[in-house]
Chain A
Amino acid sequence: DTEVTQTPKHLVMGMTNKKSLKCEQHMGHRAMYWYKQKAKKPPELMFVYSYEKLSINESVPSRFSPECPNSSLLNLHLHALQPEDSALYLCASKPSLARTPYNEQFFGPGTRLTVL
């Protein structure tokens, strides 16, 4: 199994809703990432998890709350989002935060989020 899966594919939520995005990989990777991609823009890093611990938070607002309950699963909990948070949310994984970043990140297909 060499893929990263993300659910749901599409999500529409109101500004008062609470929802979660899910990412799963069974490649034994121990580094996992959340990226946000606005339309016609490149992905921007949000969070990095290494061995199930939060390693990097790129100054993301607290209405986004990541969670890594085990080595295969990464969640992104959403609460009180704004319309400008509408974007494609991409999950990625790689074997580990090795001494070199030569090993590539494997990306999932993304969740298309619309905030009304």
Chain B
Amino acid sequence: AQSVTQPDIHITVSEGASLELRCNYSYGATPYLFWYVQSPGQGLQLLLKYFSGDTLVQGIKGFEAEFKRSQSSFNLRKPSVHWSDAAEYFCAVGARPAAGNKLTFGGGTRVLVKP
């Protein structure tokens, strides 16, 4: 069965500082990995996704993620955080069609940005 772990429940970062969110996955085959962001009371917006190819993936809003198969990780990074980046971030792994392309999410990491 697929699973995703986000070890950090909360992260506080100063505006302008760098940010790294950790994600570890368990999946029996080639993983389909996603990072979504959710602002309070809102739906989820896709930041970036990975299936194959270059292991460093660029996304929207200046985010990037690096896939490391040997560590079963897909960590999200941003070089310089803006106050508007305060939100909940979810890493997810996607399933095959027989499982409805179901997304299994990690527990989420809440990012707080200090001025």
Q: Interface on A for B, CB 8 Å cutoff?
A: 4, 31, 33, 40-43, 45, 48, 50, 55-56, 88, 90, 92, 94, 97-102, 104-110, 112
Give the top 5 A-B pairs by smallest Cβ distance, nearest first. Answer: A42-B105, A101-B94, A48-B100, A101-B101, A56-B100
- Give complex CA distance A42, B42 in Å: 13
CB distance from A77 to the nearest CB of B (A): 20
Whether the pair A109, B108 counts as a contact (CB closer than 8 A) is: no
1/0 per residue, CB under 8 A from A, across B65-99: the answer is 00000000000000000000000001000111101
Chain B, interface size category, equals 20 to 34
Q: Interface on B for A, CB 8 Å cutoff?
A: 32, 34, 36, 41-46, 49, 51, 90, 94-97, 99-103, 105-108
Which of A4, A31, A42, A104 lies in contact with B107, CB distance below 8 A?
A42
Whether the pair A43, B44 counts as a contact (CB closer than 8 A) is: yes
- In the complex formed, the residue of B with least CB distance to A33 is B100
Q: Quick one: given A90-B43, A90-B44, A101-B32, are A56 and B102 in contact (CB under 8 Å)? A: yes
Q: Which among A41, A43, A90 has the highest number of chain B CB atoms within 10 Å?
A: A43
- Given A4-B43, A92-B44, 17 other A-B residues pairs in contact with their CB atoms under 8 A: A33-B100, A42-B90, A43-B90, A43-B105, A48-B100, A55-B100, A56-B99, A88-B41, A97-B101, A98-B101, A99-B97, A101-B94, A101-B97, A102-B49, A102-B94, A104-B46, A107-B36
Q: Which among B34, B44, B94, B107 has the highest number of chain A CB atoms within 10 Å?
A: B44
- Give complex CA distance A24, B103 in Å: 20
- Give complex CA distance A41, B41 in Å: 13
Whether the pair B34, A104 counts as a contact (CB closer than 8 A) is: yes
Q: Which among A41, A92, A97, A108 has the highest number of chain B CB atoms within 10 Å?
A: A97
